[in-house]
C-alpha cells in the first residue's frame, strides 16, 4: 500500500483553533489517528489528512467551515468511508471532517412515511429503529455501519431501488452548511422549519448537493422517505447461459414493476467469496443467476405476483431463452435479500479470498448495452487473472440499468493493486464509450468522464462549484475538474 | 519451554486481510427484528476511527509494519485505550477474525519490547507482579484474609500443599486482594462446603495467572508466572491428587484455558486435570439435582456477560492445510464453550428471581470497560463506560446486576457509583450461596 507522503503540513495554530471549535477531544493532528483515515478498501492511493475533526453540532460544523474557508484548508466529509471509491481519501490533505458523532434519529413520521436523521446515523441504527414501526429503507448491500445520508447523497442504491429508484430520489429535505459556513435548507424544511416531507414542488436545489461527492456542502440533517414493510417475502430465482438471455428476462419482468429488487450476477459473483485469482466456471454451471425480490401484503397478492413471474418465464422460454428456475447459492442469496447484511457488510462475499482490496467499475448502463460491454470486460479481467464478477440490475422498473464488476485484490503489495486498477479503468473506458456513466467515481474515473463530457457541462459544473465553494476547499480534487 | 506467542511481524499476512469495511464498528444482526448496538468502548469514548474497533487497531498495526507510524507517547496511549473485549472481532467475517485480539496484543508486546509500553500507570502492575506475584501490590499473607470467617466458624479451608484434595480452588488475585469483591471467594467456598466438596486452596502460595500481564503485552512476565503455575498444577496432580482446578475469575479462566495453551507442553503439563469455571462446575451439580435452591430471592436482576467467559472462549475453525477452501481460511466458529446460557439458567431457577435481559447480550455483550489493562491505566474511562452498561441494566427495570467475573463486578460497581444509581452488583455465586 504505502506511498504516503512523509512530510506533514500540520500547523499547531490550526489544531488549536479546531480544538477551540469542537473541544480538545474532538480534534487532532496526531499522525496515528490521521493514518487510519488515509486509506480505504479501494485501489485509490492513500493520502494523509492533516487534521481530523469530529463535530457534534451544526454550529460546530459552521465554525469549522468558516475557519477552513478563511484559511483555505481543504475539508473532506466522512461518515464511515465505505464508499469503495476513495471518496473520503483527502486528495489535498487538510481537514478530515468525521461526522459520526452527529448520529441522532430526529424523527420517524409513521404517518407521512419519512424520517429526519443526522449524517452519522448508520443503516444498522435506522434499520433497528424503523423495524419498531414496521417500516424500512432501501438498504444497500453494504456495511451496516455505513451512513444512510451519505448513501442517499451519493446516488446510492438499495434493496428497494428496483421499485423506487435511487436513494437520492428518496430525499425529502436537507439542511446543509455551505463551504463558506452559511447554513441553508432545501426542500419543504426551507419554507417551514418543521416540514421535512418533500423536495417538490420547489425548484430542485437539492441537486446542488446530491452526486457531488461531498464537494459542495456538508449535510447536517436529511429527510428521506421510508416505506412500509409487507410481511410476505418471495424471491424468484432463475439462471441463464448468457447475459443476453438474462437481460431479456430482466427487461420483461421489470416491465411489470412487481419487484423491489431485480438483479442478476455472473457465476463468479454468486460465489462466496469471489474467486481470486480468476478460476474458470465449471462447465455445467450457468453463467448468470438472478433473484427477483417481491414483498406482498396478502397471500393472494403474492400469488398474483407469482402468476406474472411464471408468465414472464414462459414468454422468455418461448423466445428460445436458456432461462431456468434455479436455486441461487444460499449464502449469497441471504447476503442480498436479508438487508442490511453483515455477510456483505464485512465484505466476506467479495474479498475474503483476495484480502483487503475491492474496487469496481460501477456504472449506470442501459440494459441493451450490458452484453457487449460484459463480453469486453470479461476479456480484460480474465487477461489480468481477475474474476469477471459482474452484477446487472434494473432500477425503477426498467429505467436505470446498472452494470458493475466487483473486483477483489490483495493490498499487501503494490503490484496486484495496480493490476486491478488498470483493469478497472480499462473496463470503465469501455463502458463510457458505450454510453454508460460511472457512479461514486474515484478521481481516475472522473478524469475519464470529464474527458468525454460536453464542454458546456464541465463549465457548468465549474461555475456551480465556484459559486458554492469559491476557494475550492471541499473534497478538493475529487471531481477531477 | 517453547511458547508460540506471535509477534506483530508474524501476523502481517492476516493483518493484510482487513478491508477497512468498518463492519466491526457496530454490533448488528439481521434478526428479524434487526438488532443494533454500540460495541466498542474505545470508539464510544474516543470516537476517531483509529480508536475504534478492529478497523482502527489494524490501521495502527499496518502503520507500524509499513514504517509509517513510529512510537510517540500518544500512539502508545492509543494502543492501550482498548479493553481487548473482542466486541469488534465478533462482527468481522474475514480470515483475520480469529486473530484480532492477538493483533492488538502483539502491538502491545512490541511496545513493551521496544521499551515504550505499557502506560506509566500500568507499569505499576508489572512491578507488583515481579515483587508480589500479583497485580495489586498485595503482600502474600493478605491472600488468605478472606478465609478468616471459615476458620472462626471452625470450617477452615484446606491448604492443598499440606492436605491433599481432588479439587483446587484457584481463587485469583482480584477476589483475594480487591476488597469490594472479596465476598466472591467467600461465597464460592461456602457453596463448596454446603455441597460437601473436598477442595483446597494454594493460600499464600497462589500466584497470579498472568492474564493482566498478557493483556498489557508483558509476555515475559506472563510466561514466568504461567510456567510456574503449570508446574505447580502438575505437581498438585502428580503428588496431591488434584484432578480439577476451579476458578471463579473469568480472566484466570481465559488465561489458563487459552493463553497457557500457547505453550508446546501445555497438554502434557495439564494431562489429567480439568480446568473449569465455577459457574460451569456448579451447573453440573444443578443439572443433576445435587444443588437445590431452597430460599427465595425476590429480586429484579439482569445478567452481564463478561467478555472472558463469552466471546474470548469462542473457538474458530481455520482451514489449516487448505484442504477445504484455502490455507488460513476462516471457516466458522463454535460458541459451545461460551458461558452464555448456563448462568442465566441457574439465575432463573432461583425462586423469586425476576430476570430482565439487556439488549446487548451473549457474543454482542457490551464490555464493562475494565479489561485489557484499562481499569488500571484509565480508571476514569473504565468507570464511565461501566456507567453506560449500568444504565442499560437500569433500563430493563433491574435492581441488581449479576456477573461471573470479579473484574467486571468491581468495575461495574464503580460505574454504578459514578452515575449515582442504586444498581447493586453481585456475583452469581453470591446469589447461589444465599439461595442454598
Ligand atoms: C461491500 C460493500 C458493498 C456496498 N454495496 C453498496 C450498495 O449496494 N449500494 C450502495 O449505494 N453503496 C454500497 N456500498 C457503498 C457504501 O457502503 C454505502 O453507500 C454507504 O452507505 C456509504 O456510507 P459511508 O458512511 O461509508 O459514506 P462515506 O464513504 O463516508 O462518504 C461517501 C461520500 O459522501 C461524502 N459525505 C459524507 N458525509 C457527508 C456529509 N455530511 N455532507 C456531504 N458529504 C458527505 C463523502 O465525502 C464521500 O464523498 C458498498 C460498500 C461496501 C464496502
Ligand atoms: S476488522 Fe473485519 S470488520 Fe473490521 S474493518 Fe477489518 S475487515 Fe472490516
Ligand atoms: S477489542 Fe473492544 S475496545 Fe478494543 S477495539 Fe475491539 S471492540 Fe473496541
In tens, the pLDDT along A160-187 reads 999 999 999 999 999 999 999 999 999 9
Atom of ligand 1 nearest to the CA of A119: 41
SS3 A358: strand
Classify burial at A368, counting beta carbons within 10 Å of its beta carbon; exposed 0-12, middle 13-18, buried 19 or more.
middle
Helix, coil or strand: residue B87: coil
CA angle A170, A171, A175 (to 5 degrees): 170
DSSP A160: T
User: Does the pLDDT of residue A4 top 70, yes or no?
Assistant: no
In a domain, A67, yes or no: yes
Distance A152 CA to ligand 2 centre (A): 23
Whether residue A39 is found in the same domain as residue A176: no
**Per-residue CA distances from A261 to A227, A373, B272 (Å):** 14, 22, 58
Mean confidence (pLDDT) of chain A: 95
For residues A322 and A432, state if they share a domain: yes
Q: What is the rounded average pLDDT of the residues B382-398? A: 98
Q: What percent of chain A has pLDDT over 90?
A: 90
Task: Note whether A53 and A176 are same-domain residues.
Answer: no
Same domain for A279 and A348? yes
Per the domain annotation, does A168 fall within a domain?
yes
| pLDDT at A335 (0 to 100) | 82
Asked which of A62, A79, A98 is the last residue of a domain, the reply is A98
Same domain, A421 and A274: yes
A203 and A350 co-located in one domain: no
Q: Does the model's pTM come out above 0.80?
A: yes
ipTM of the complex as predicted: 0.95
User: Does A363 fall in a domain?
Assistant: yes
- Co-location of A258 and A223 in the same domain: no
User: A404 and A426: one domain?
Assistant: yes
B316 CB near a chain A CB, below 8 Å? no
With 50 as the cut, is the pLDDT of residue B265 above it? yes
Residue-level pLDDT at B105: 97
Residues A199 and A304 in one domain: no
List the CATH number of the domain containing A81.
3.30.43.10
Residue A97 has pLDDT above 90, yes or no: yes
Is residue B49 within 8 angstroms of chain A, CB to CB? Answer: yes
Domain membership of residue A346 (yes or no) is: yes
Is residue A4 a part of any domain in this protein?
Answer: no
Per the structure, the complete domain to which residue A138 belongs is given by 105-228
Predicted local distance difference test score (pLDDT) of residue A3: 55
- Name residue, grid cell 470529464: A450
Q: What is the mean pLDDT of residues A210-224?
A: 97
Q: What is the pLDDT of residue A422?
A: 96
Q: Do A351 and B329 touch (CB under 8 A)?
A: no
Give me the mean pLDDT over the B101-114 stretch: 97
- B159 at A interface, C-beta within 8 A: no
Percent of chain B exceeding pLDDT 70 equals 100
A180 and A125 assigned to the same domain: yes
Measured in Å, residue B38 CA sits from the centre of ligand 3 at: 11
Q: What is the mean pLDDT of chain B?
A: 95
Judged against a pLDDT cut of 60, whether residue A7 lies above it is answered with: no
- The rounded Å distance from CA B102 to ligand 2 centre is 14
Residue B207 has a pLDDT of 95
Regarding the beta carbon of B15 and ligand 2, being less than 6 Å apart is answered no
Query: Which positions in chain A touch B13 (Cβ < 8 Å)?
Result: 412
Domain positions in chain B: 1-117, 130-287, 293-436
pLDDT class of A1 with cuts at 50, 70, 90:
low
Does A449 map to a domain?
A: no
Domain count, chain A: 3
| Res. A312 pLDDT band, cuts 50 70 90 | very high
Between CA A168 and CA A353 the distance in angstroms is 33
Confidence of residue A334 (pLDDT cuts 50, 70, 90): confident
Give residue A349's pLDDT band: very low, low, confident or very high (50, 70, 90). Answer: confident
Mean pLDDT value across residues B348-354: 97
A290 domain-assigned? yes
Average pLDDT over residues A193-219: 96
A268 and A414 inside one domain: yes
Mean pLDDT of A468-479: 96
Do A125 and B46 lie within an 8 Å CB cutoff?
no
Residue A305 has pLDDT above 60, yes or no: yes
C-alpha–C-alpha distance, residues B198 and B157, integer Å? 10
Question: Which of A279-288, A339-348, A392-401, B23-32 has the least mean pLDDT?
Answer: A339-348
pLDDT at residue number A76:
98
Give B143-202 pLDDT, tens digit per residue.
Answer: 999 999 999 999 999 999 999 999 999 999 999 998 888 999 999 999 999 999 999 999
Q: For A239-254, write each residue's pLDDT tens digit.
A: 999 999 999 999 999 9
Looking at ligand 2, which atom is closest to the CA of residue B22? 5
Q: What is the pLDDT of residue B385?
A: 98
- Judge if A224 and A236 occupy the same domain: no
Q: What CATH number did the domain enclosing A176 receive?
A: 3.30.465.10
**CA A401-A115-A295 angle, 5° bins:** 50
B393-402 pLDDT, tens per residue?
999 999 999 9
Phi-psi map region of A35: left, alpha, beta (phi>0 left; psi -120 to 50 alpha):
alpha
Q: Which residue has better confidence, B254 or A119?
A: A119
Burial A146-176 (b: 16+ CB within 10 A, else e): bbbbbbbbbbbbbbbbbbbbbbbbbbbbbbb
- What Cα–Cα distance (Å) separates residue B331 from each residue in A348, B334, B359? 11, 10, 28
Q: Using DSSP, state whether B1 is helix, strand or coil.
A: coil
Query: What pLDDT does residue A6 have?
Result: 53
Q: Of A213, A228, A243, at which residue does a domain stop?
A: A228
| CATH code of residue A280 | 3.40.462.10
A459 lies in some domain: no
**Residues 17-46, chain B, touching A (beta carbon < 8 A):** 17-26, 28-36, 46
Within 8 A of B60 by CB-CB distance, chain A residues are 32, 35-36
Q: Residues in chain B, how many?
A: 436
Report whether pLDDT(B283) > 50: yes
Among chain B residues, CA nearest to A356: B19
- What is the mean predicted confidence (pLDDT) over B88-102? 96
The second-level CATH assignment, the architecture, of B293-436 is: 3-Layer(aba) Sandwich (3.40)
Q: Quick one: pLDDT band at residue A2, thresholds 50, 70, 90?
A: very low
Say what the pLDDT of residue A173 is: 98
Least confident of A122-131, A152-161, A326-335, B165-174: A326-335
> Residue A432 pLDDT more than 50?
yes
pLDDT at B180: 86
Question: B130-287 has which CATH code?
Answer: 3.40.50
Amino acid at each position: 500500500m504505502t506511498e504516503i507522503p512523509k512530510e506533514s503540513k500540520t500547523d499547531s495554530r490550526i489544531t488549536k483553533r479546531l480544538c477551540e471549535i469542537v473541544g480538545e477531544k474532538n480534534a487532532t493532528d496526531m499522525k496515528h489517528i490521521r493514518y487510519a483515515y488515509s486509506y480505504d478498501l479501494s485501489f485509490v492511493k492513500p493520502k494523509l489528512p492533516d487534521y481530523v475533526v469530529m463535530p457534534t453540532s451544526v454550529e460546530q460544523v459552521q465554525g469549522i467551515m468558516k475557519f477552513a474557508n478563511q484559511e483555505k484548508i481543504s475539508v473532506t466529509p466522512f461518515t464511515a468511508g465505505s464508499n469503495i471509491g476513495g471518496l473520503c481519501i483527502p486528495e489535498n490533505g487538510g481537514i478530515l471532517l468525521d461526522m459520526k458523532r452527529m448520529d441522532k434519529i430526529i424523527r420517524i413520521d409513521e404517518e407521512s412515511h419519512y424520517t429526519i436523521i443526522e449524517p452519522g446515523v448508520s443503516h444498522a441504527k435506522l434499520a433497528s429503529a424503523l423495524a419498531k414501526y414496521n417500516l424500512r429503507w432501501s438498504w444497500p448491500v453494504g456495511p451496516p455501519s455505513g451512513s444512510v445520508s451519505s448513501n442517499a447523497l451519493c446516488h446510492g442504491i438499495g434493496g428497494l431501488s428496483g421499485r423506487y429508484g435511487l436513494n437520492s430520489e428518496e430525499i425529502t429535505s436537507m439542511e446543509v452548511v455551505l463551504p463558506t459556513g452559511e447554513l441553508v435548507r432545501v426542500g419543504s424544511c426551507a419554507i417551514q422549519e418543521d416540514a421535512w416531507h418533500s423536495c417538490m414542488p420547489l425548484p430542485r436545489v437539492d441537486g446542488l448537493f446530491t452526486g457531488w461527492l461531498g464537494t459542495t456542502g456538508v449535510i447536517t440533517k436529511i429527510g428521506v422517505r421510508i416505506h412500509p414493510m409487507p410481511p410476505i417475502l418471495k424471491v424468484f430465482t432463475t439462471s441463464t447461459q448468457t447475459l443476453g438471455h438474462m437481460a431479456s428476462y430482466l427487461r420483461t419482468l421489470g416491465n411489470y414493476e412487481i419487484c423491489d429488487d431485480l438483479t442478476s450476477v455472473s457465476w463468479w459473483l454468486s460465489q462466496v467469496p469471489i474467486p481470486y485469482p480468476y478460476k474458470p466456471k465449471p462447465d455445467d454451471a450457468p453463467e448468470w443467476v438472478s433473484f427477483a425480490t417481491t414483498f406482498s401484503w396478502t397471500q393472494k397478492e403474492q400469488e398474483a405476483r407469482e402468476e406474472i413471474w411464471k408468465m414472464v418465464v414462459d414468454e422468455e422460454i418461448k423466445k428460445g431463452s436458456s432461462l431456468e428456475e434455479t436455486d441461487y447459492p444460499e449464502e449469497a442469496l441471504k447476503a442480498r435479500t436479508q438487508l442490511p447484511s453483515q455477510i456483505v457488510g464485512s465484505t466476506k462475499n467479495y474479498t475474503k479470498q483476495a484480502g483487503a482490496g475491492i474496487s469496481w467499475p460501477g456504472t449506470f448502463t442501459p440494459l441493451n448495452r450490458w452484453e457487449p460491454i460484459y463480453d469486453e470486460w470479461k476479456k480484460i479481467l480474465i487477461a489480468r487473472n481477475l474474476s469477471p464478477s459482474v452484477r446487472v440490475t434494473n432500477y425503477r422498473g426498467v429505467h436505470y440499468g446498472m452494470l458493475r464488476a466487483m473486483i477483489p485484490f490483495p493490498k499487501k503489495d503494490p503490484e496486484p493493486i495496480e493490476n486491478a486498477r488498470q483493469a478497472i479503468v480499462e473496463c470503465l473506458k469501455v463502458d463510457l464509450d458505450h454510453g454508460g456513466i460511472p457512479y461514486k467515481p474515484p478521481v481516475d474515473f472522473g478524469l475519464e468522464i470529464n474527458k468525454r463530457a460536453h464542454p458546456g457541462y464541465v463549465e457548468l459544473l465549474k461555475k456551480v462549484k465556484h459559486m458554492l465553494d469559491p476557494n475550492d476547499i471541499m473534497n478538493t480534487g475529487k471531481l477531477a475538474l | 519451554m517453547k511458547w508460540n506467542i506471535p509477534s506483530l511481524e508474524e501476523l502481517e499476512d492476516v493483518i493484510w486481510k482487513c478491508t477497512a469495511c468498518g463492519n466491526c464498528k457496530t454490533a448488528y444482526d439481521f434478526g428479524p427484528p434487526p438488532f443494533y448496538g454500540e460495541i466498542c468502548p474505545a470508539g464510544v469514548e474516543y470516537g476517531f476511527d483509529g480508536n475504534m474497533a478492529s478497523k482502527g487497531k489494524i490501521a495502527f498495526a499496518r502503520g507500524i509494519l509499513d514504517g509509517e507510524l513510529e512510537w510517540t507517547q500518544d500512539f502508545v496511549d492509543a494502543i492501550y485505550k482498548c479493553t481487548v473485549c473482542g466486541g469488534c472481532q465478533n462482527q468481522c467475517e474475514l480470515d483475520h477474525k480469529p486473530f484480532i485480539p492477538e493483533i492488538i496484543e502483539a502491538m502491545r508486546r512490541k511496545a513493551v519490547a521496544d521499551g515504550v509500553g505499557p502506560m506509566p500507570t500500568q507499569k505499576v502492575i508489572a512491578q507488583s507482579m515481579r515483587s508480589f506475584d500479583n497485580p495489586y501490590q498485595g503482600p502474600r499473607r493478605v491472600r488468605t484474609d478472606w478465609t478468616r470467617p471459615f476458620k472462626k466458624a471452625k470450617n477452615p479451608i484446606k491448604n492443598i500443599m499440606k492436605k491433599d484434595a481432588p479439587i483446587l480452588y484457584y481463587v485469583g488475585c482480584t477476589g483475594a486482594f480487591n476488597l469490594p469483591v472479596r465476598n466472591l471467594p467467600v461465597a464460592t467456598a461456602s457453596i463448596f462446603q454446603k455441597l460437601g466438596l473436598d477442595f483446597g486452596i494454594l493460600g499464600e502460595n497462589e500466584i497470579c495467572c498472568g492474564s493482566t500481564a498478557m493483556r498489557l503485552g508483558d509476555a515475559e512476565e506472563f510466561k514466568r508466572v504461567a510456567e510456574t503455575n503449570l508446574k505447580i498444577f502438575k505437581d498438585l496432580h502428580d503428588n496431591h491428587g488434584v484432578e480439577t482446578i476451579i476458578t471463579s475469575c473469568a480472566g484466570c479462566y481465559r488465561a489458563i484455558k487459552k493463553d497457557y495453551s500457547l505453550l508446546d507442553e501445555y497438554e502434557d503439563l495439564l494431562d489429567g486435570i480439568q480446568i473449569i469455571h465455577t459457574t460451569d462446575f456448579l451447573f453440573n451439580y444443578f443439572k443433576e439435582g445435587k444443588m437445590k435452591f431452597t430460599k427465595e430471592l425476590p429480586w429484579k436482576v439482569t445478567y452481564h456477560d463478561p467478555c472472558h467467559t463469552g466471546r474470548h472462549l469462542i473457538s474458530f475453525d481455520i482451514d489449516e492445510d487448505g484442504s477445504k477452501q484455502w490455507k488460513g481460511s476462516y471457516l466458522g466458529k463454535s460458541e459451545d464453550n461460551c458461558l452464555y446460557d448456563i448462568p442465566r439458567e441457574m439465575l432463573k431457577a432461583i425462586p423469586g428471581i425476576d430476570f430482565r435481559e439487556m439488549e446487548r447480550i451473549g457474543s454482542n455483550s457490551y464490555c464493562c470497560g475494565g479489561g485489557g489493562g484499562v481499569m488500571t491505566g484509565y480508571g476514569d474511562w473504565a468507570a464511565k463506560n461501566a456507567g453506560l452498561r449500568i444504565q442499560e441494566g437500569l433500563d430493563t427495570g433491574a435492581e441488581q446486576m449479576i456477573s461471573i467475573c470479579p473484574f467486571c463486578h468491581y468495575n461495574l460497581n464503580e460505574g454504578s457509583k459514578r452515575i449515582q444509581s442504586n444498581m447493586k452488583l453481585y456475583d452469581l455465586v453470591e446469589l447461589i450461596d444465599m439461595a442454598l
